[in-house]
């Protein structure tokens, strides 16, 4: 038996794909997909990973408006629209696919630990003990499986404060990204009046202040905040017959903190061959996750003036074209092109390097 802990997108998707095995899917909540702690933006690359019902698409992002601290903005018309999905519905859909694939489900049952036995593991939940051959930890950022297996490492987290809000008026196809609030922040419309509004950061005092500014006169309908693990390039994904996927394995890209597609890909690789999972994941996706992490580290050193310069650079047509045509989930595909075409990025990078050195000395 394979015990999968956590019926989020990674755990359910893995359970829907694994073949010729008895799967037990454990979820601590009694309802799938709730509470929501996600903006639910997916790039078009989701279509290369899986199909999903179109009625789960709440809105399409056609354009990004990236706003600098001096209020200058650049507009990026996406060649391939992004999806704003019903995240709870998406999780429920993947869960149904797991059930269709034969997974036995245990809702309201929380993994609390395991013991190694001669033939495998004895899994402990808040309700019962189970004998199992393999454990998959898909139990999110604070993964109890990773902790129990000694795979947790020195992981770091970032706070994502988000609310579903009502506004007097919104442009429904335009997602706003503010570079001066939090590490970055967003307003993602569902329609002309409702948007998912969020800010990311580590410093609570700054988050409070920036979140207030971002919300403006909006009315909060639902809080959707959560924590996000920072990708750890040294994260071990497996130990004996225990594997980690998704947020439990810190598989989140640090530029925009999206993790759904990476979690689904991890689930696919593990379901296809557990023996090659770690190597395949690192070979296929490790470089993009690492580049995203480095981009984030650099972006976090930017001062206001440099953020303004960045927007000036991205107001140039040839740079907008590169961003509009490439998938931000896989930055290795466009970062080289940008660096080759835009020499002022090198200067900006050098200035940011000086910021980094300076902040280390302080």
What tokens were used for 319?
Answer: 């740079």
What tokens were used for 39?
Answer: 């903006």
Q: Examine residue 111 and tell whether it contacts ligand FAD (CB under 6 A).
A: yes
Q: Examine residue 356 and tell whether it contacts ligand FAD (CB under 6 A).
A: no
Q: For residues 247 and 122, what is the distance between their CA atoms, to the nearest angstrom?
A: 24
Q: Could you give the dihedral angle defined by the CA atoms of residues 195, 176, 158 and 271, in that order, rounded to the nearest 10 degrees?
A: 80
Q: Examine residue 139 and tell whether it contacts ligand FAD (CB under 6 A).
A: yes
Secondary structure of residue 25 in the 3-state scheme: strand
Concatenated DSSP letters for 109-121? --EEEEEE-SSSE
The nearest distance, CB 296 to ligand FAD, in angstroms, is: 14
Q: Examine residue 81 and tell whether it contacts ligand FAD (CB under 6 A).
A: no
The nearest distance, CB 138 to ligand FAD, in angstroms, is: 5
Name the segment binding ligand FAD (CB under 6 A); options: 52-60, 167-175, 258-266, 271-279: 258-266
Q: Examine residue 110 and tell whether it contacts ligand FAD (CB under 6 A).
A: yes
Burial of 197 (0-12, 13-18, 19+ CB in 10 A): buried
Q: Examine residue 89 and tell whether it contacts ligand FAD (CB under 6 A).
A: no
Count residues near ligand FAD (CB under 6 A).
38
Q: For residues 316 and 301, what is the distance between their CA atoms, to the nearest angstrom?
A: 23
Q: Examine residue 252 and tell whether it contacts ligand FAD (CB under 6 A).
A: yes
Toward ligand FAD, which CB reaches closer, 264 or 310?
A: 264
Q: How far is CA 171 from CA 57, 101, 186, 194, 320, in A?
A: 17, 41, 14, 10, 20
- The footprint of ligand FAD on residues 274-293 (CB under 6 A) is none
Q: Examine residue 160 and tell whether it contacts ligand FAD (CB under 6 A).
A: yes
Toward ligand FAD, which CB reaches closer, 140 or 322?
A: 140
Q: Examine residue 263 and tell whether it contacts ligand FAD (CB under 6 A).
A: yes
Alpha helices in 190-255 (DSSP H): 204-215
Name the segment binding ligand FAD (CB under 6 A); options: 60-68, 70-78, 149-157, 245-253: 245-253
Q: For residues 7 and 16, what is the distance between their CA atoms, to the nearest angstrom?
A: 11
The nearest distance, CB 186 to ligand FAD, in angstroms, is: 8
Angle at 176 between CA 172 and CA 182, to 5 degrees: 145
Q: Between 297 and 336, how does the x/- string for binding to ligand FAD read (CB under 6 A)?
A: ----------------------------------------
Q: Between 8 and 47, how does the x/- string for binding to ligand FAD read (CB under 6 A)?
A: xxxx--------------xxxx-------xxxxx------
The nearest distance, CB 246 to ligand FAD, in angstroms, is: 2
How many other C-beta atoms lie within 10 A of the C-beta of residue 192? Answer: 12
The helix (H) or strand (E) run that includes residue 249 is: none
The nearest distance, CB 345 to ligand FAD, in angstroms, is: 26
Among 330, 248, 307, smallest CA distance to 48 is for 330
> Which residues lie near ligand FAD (CB under 6 A)?
5-11, 26-29, 37-41, 110-111, 138-140, 144, 160, 162, 198, 225-226, 228, 246-248, 252, 257-261, 263
């Amino acid at each position: 038996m394979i015990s999968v802990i956590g019926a989020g997108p990674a755990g359910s998707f893995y359970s829907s794909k694994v073949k010729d095995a008895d799967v037990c899917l454990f979820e601590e909540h009694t309802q799938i997909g709730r509470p929501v702690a996600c903006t639910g933006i997916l790039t078009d690359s989701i279509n290369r990973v899986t199909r999903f019902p179109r009625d789960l698409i709440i809105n399409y992002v056609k354009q990004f408006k990236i706003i600098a601290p001096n209020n200058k903005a650049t507009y990026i018309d996406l060649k391939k629209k992004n999806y704003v999905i019903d995240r709870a519905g998406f999780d429920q859909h993947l869960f149904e696919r797991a059930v269709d694939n034969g997974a036995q489900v245990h809702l309201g049952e929380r993994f609390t630990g395991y013991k190694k036995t001669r033939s495998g593991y004895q899994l402990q939940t808040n309700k019962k003990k189970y004998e199992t051959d393999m454990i998959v930890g898909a139990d999110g950022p604070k993964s109890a499986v990773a902790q129990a297996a000694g795979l947790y490492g020195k992981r770091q987290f970032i706070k994502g404060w988000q609310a579903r809000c009502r506004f007097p008026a919104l442009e429904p196809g335009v997602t706003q990204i503010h570079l001066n609030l939090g590490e970055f922040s967003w307003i993602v419309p569902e329609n002309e009046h409702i948007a998912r509004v969020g800010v990311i950061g580590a410093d609570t005092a700054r988050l409070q202040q920036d979140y207030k500014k971002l919300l403006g006169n909006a009315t909060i309908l639902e809080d959707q905040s959560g924590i996000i693990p920072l990708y750890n390039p040294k994260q071990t994904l497996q130990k004996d017959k225990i594997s980690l996927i998704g947020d439990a394995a810190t598989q989140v890209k640090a530029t925009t903190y999206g993790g759904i597609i990476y979690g689904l890909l991890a689930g696919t690789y593990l379901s296809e061959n557990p023996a090659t999972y770690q190597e395949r994941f690192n070979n296929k996706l490790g470089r993009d996750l690492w580049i995203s992490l480095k981009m984030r580290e650099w972006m976090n050193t930017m001062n206001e003036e440099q953020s303004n310069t960045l927007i000036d650079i991205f107001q140039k047509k040839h740079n907008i074209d590169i961003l509009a045509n490439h998938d931000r989930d896989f930055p290795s595909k466009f970062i080289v092109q940008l660096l080759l075409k835009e020499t002022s990025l090198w200067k900006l990078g050098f200035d940011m390097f000086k910021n980094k050195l300076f902040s280390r000395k302080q």
